[in-house]
């Protein structure tokens, strides 16, 4: 059972939740840029959240399904079609054998995630499926997908099988595809926008900056520059200046760390960030808002809002609780099959 890549799209890679535990050896964590969309896509087809998905960037691939499969597409607003029929996002979809899905271009957002029931049959490298493009490890031969590549699928688990059985029992099949009569609540889906307000915590060197710069961080806006990729987003706005020059030893960094190099324009570190950094860290984007950041396009306008650690933790707990409730709901639906 396999999926053939007819057209690879702009940048399509295999990702999971990252390669944790190896940063102390200089190996980047990587993983999905929008972990929320990745997690939900997997849950919708009955996979564990840690299974690999296809991360599709700006222009999606064209995929030929040699056998029938249950899939879900989440994240950026792509326009997936089978023939003339547009497929829904954030919902399980049954694809019949020998059908071709065209993802097209994203109408909003940057990255979409396609999960397949059972997951992709690829080896783990350092306990992760994620593609590390710079090191050329993980994923499919350590690289982006190309025309004529074939992705083989693993055997389905019990949850996958129950979801498919329930879908088939609904008698909602049409010539091209079928979907279950429910989707992820709009209240749960992040409000992706070209002008997000990202909530942040002060960074370790926040107090090194001038009072004016600290105020500008929260009152001004910053534009995403063309030098934006999976490693980091360069931003342009008011200069963020240190109160006085200081030496800084390299320190660990995280997804969402906002560094300020010598040119005084911030860089937000992303999934493929380096393991350590030697620039002052003025702030940290909270984990709940990282999906919003991952979906911002070049030229987008970003603003920052300060919150405290307690509020950041509360929002993370609520996010994880909502995902757990979604998983339980899907499990109840599958039990009916």
For residue 237, which phi and psi values (nearest 5 degrees)?
-165, -150
Cα end-to-end span (Å), the chain: 23
Each of the 337 residues of the chain gets a pLDDT tens digit; together they read: 799 999 999 999 999 999 999 998 999 999 999 999 999 999 999 999 999 999 999 999 999 999 999 999 999 999 999 999 999 999 999 899 999 999 999 999 999 999 999 999 999 999 999 999 999 999 999 999 999 999 999 999 998 888 888 777 765 543 445 555 566 777 788 889 989 999 999 999 999 999 999 999 999 999 999 999 999 999 999 999 999 887 788 999 999 999 999 999 999 999 999 999 999 999 999 999 999 999 999 999 999 999 999 999 999 999 999 999 999 888 887 776 5
At 143 the three-state DSSP class reads: strand
Walk me through the domains of the chain, giving residue ranges and CATH numbers. 2-189 (no CATH), 197-306 (2.40.100.10)
Q: How far apart are CA 94 and CA 30, in angstroms?
A: 30
At 6 the three-state DSSP class reads: strand
In eight-state DSSP terms, residue 195 is S
For residue 131, which phi and psi values (nearest 5 degrees)?
-85, 120
Using CA atoms of 136, 142, 144, 146 in order, give the dihedral in degrees to the nearest 10: 120
Pairing assessment for the beta strands 197-202 and 301-306 based on DSSP bridges: parallel
Kindly list the distances between the CA atom of residue 156 and the CA atoms of 120, 163, 211, 330, 331, in Å, as whole numbers in the listed order: 10, 11, 57, 16, 15
Kindly list the distances between the CA atom of residue 43 and the CA atoms of 102, 239, 306, in Å, as whole numbers in the listed order: 22, 43, 32
**CB-side neighbour CA atoms (13 Å) of 293:** 33
């Amino acid at each position: 059972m396999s999926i053939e890549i007819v057209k690879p799209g702009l940048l399509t890679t295999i990702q999971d939740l990252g390669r944790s535990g190896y940063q102390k050896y200089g190996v980047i964590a990587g993983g999905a840029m929008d972990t929320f969309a990745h997690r939900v896509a997997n849950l919708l087809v009955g996979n564990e959240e840690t299974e690999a998905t296809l991360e599709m960037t700006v222009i999606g691939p064209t995929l030929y399904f040699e056998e029938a499969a249950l899939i879900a597409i989440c994240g950026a607003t792509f326009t997936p079609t089978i023939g003339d029929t547009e497929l829904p996002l954030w919902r399980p979809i049954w694809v019949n054998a020998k059908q071709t899905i065209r993802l097209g271009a994203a109408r909003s957002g940057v990255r979409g995630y396609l999960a397949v029931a059972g997951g992709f049959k690829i080896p783990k490298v350092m306990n992760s499926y994620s593609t590390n493009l710079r090191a050329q490890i993980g994923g499919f031969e350590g690289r982006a997908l190309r025309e004529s590549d074939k992705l083989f699928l693993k055997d389905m688990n019990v949850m996958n099988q129950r979801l498919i059985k329930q879908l088939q029992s609904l008698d909602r099949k049409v010539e091209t595809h079928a979907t279950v009569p429910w989707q992820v609540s709009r209240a749960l889906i992040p409000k992706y926008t070209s002008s997000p307000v990202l909530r942040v915590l002060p960074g370790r060197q926040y107090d090194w900056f001038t009072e004016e710069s600290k105020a500008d961080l929260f009152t001004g806006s910053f534009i995403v520059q063309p030098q934006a990729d999976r490693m980091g987003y360069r931003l342009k706005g008011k200069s963020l200046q240190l109160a006085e020059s200081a030496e800084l030893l390299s320190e660990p960094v995280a997804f969402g760390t906002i560094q300020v190099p010598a040119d005084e324009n911030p860089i937000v570190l992303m999934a493929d960030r380096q393991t350590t950094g030697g620039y002052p860290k003025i702030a940290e984007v909270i984990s709940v808002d990282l999906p919003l950041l991952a979906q911002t396009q070049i030229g987008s306008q970003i603003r920052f809002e300060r919150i405290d650690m307690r509020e950041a933790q509360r929002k993370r707990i609520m996010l994880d609780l909502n995902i757990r409730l979604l998983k339980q709901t899907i499990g109840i639906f599958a039990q009916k099959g």
